[in-house]
A and B are shown apart, each in its own frame.
Chain A
Amino acid sequence: GAVVSQHPSWVICKSGTSVKIECRSLDFQATTMFWYRQFPKQSLMLMATSNEGSKATYEQGVEKDKFLINHASLTLSTLTVTSAHPEDSSFYICSAREYMNTEAFFGQGTRLTVV
């Protein structure tokens, strides 16, 4: 299957700082990318959908000013967690889908710990 790479795999940051997570599609052009969050022992929760060159669409209850998503190219999307707090500690996962293909491929995830 296609490869989606996330960076970093894990990050620890202090409260009040911002953290950027990158998601890259390595062997295909991703017209649509998705960002999920997963808390321990829970399922994945969709945060937002982004299409290349346009603003992200956020799910209900997700603060767009706190979770900044940029999808500036067909191979790269970034999620920035601004003014991070301990409750933002979670496993963040991106997914990418190529136009006209139906399956989405997932990155390996980024474990964020805010201290």
Chain B
Amino acid sequence: DAKTTQPPSMDCAEGRAANLPCNHSTISGNEYVYWYRQIHSQGPQYIIHGLKNNETNEMASLIITEDRKSSTLILPHATLRDTAVYYCIRGAAGNKLTFGGGTRVLVKP
């Protein structure tokens, strides 16, 4: 039971911002929201994680709603190399990470 819900696929235009939604309505107070992505035939790559505050790093921004029931990963300027499967995962610190189906993102020229 992955406990998060993501759209199965989405397209976005190169150079535009990509907004990836995730629903985690039953998240517990001690559970973080993690985002990873997997490019074909590679291991998942860590992107960002957060607990309740919005977070930003060199790769992306994570916006978590005030009630923590959903979040959005923002890739500010999508490139063709951002084409991948993006996974939103919830879990307590130190605990195992269970992957759901993810969102298959295709960045188009």
Contact surface of A with B, Cβ cutoff 8 Å: 1, 4, 6, 32, 34, 36, 43-46, 49, 91, 93, 95, 97, 99-100, 102-109, 111
A103 contacts B49, C-beta separation under 8 Å: yes
* Residues of A close to B98: CB separation below 8 A: 46
A36 to B44, CA, bound (A): 11
Map CB proximity to A onto B27-56 as digits: 1 under 8 Å, 0 otherwise. Answer: 000001010101001111110010000000
Q: Is the CB of A46 within 8 A of B46?
A: no
- For B, the interface residue count at a CB cutoff of 8 angstroms equals 22
8 pairs of residues in contact across A and B, judged by CB atoms under 8 Å? A4-B43, A6-B43, A43-B101, A49-B96, A93-B44, A102-B34, A103-B46, A106-B36
B96 near A91 (CB under 8 angstroms)? no
Q: Beyond A43-B100, A43-B101, A44-B99, is A106–B93 a contact (Cβ under 8 Å)?
A: no
Question: Which of A95, A100, A107 gathers most chain B CB within 10 Å?
Answer: A95
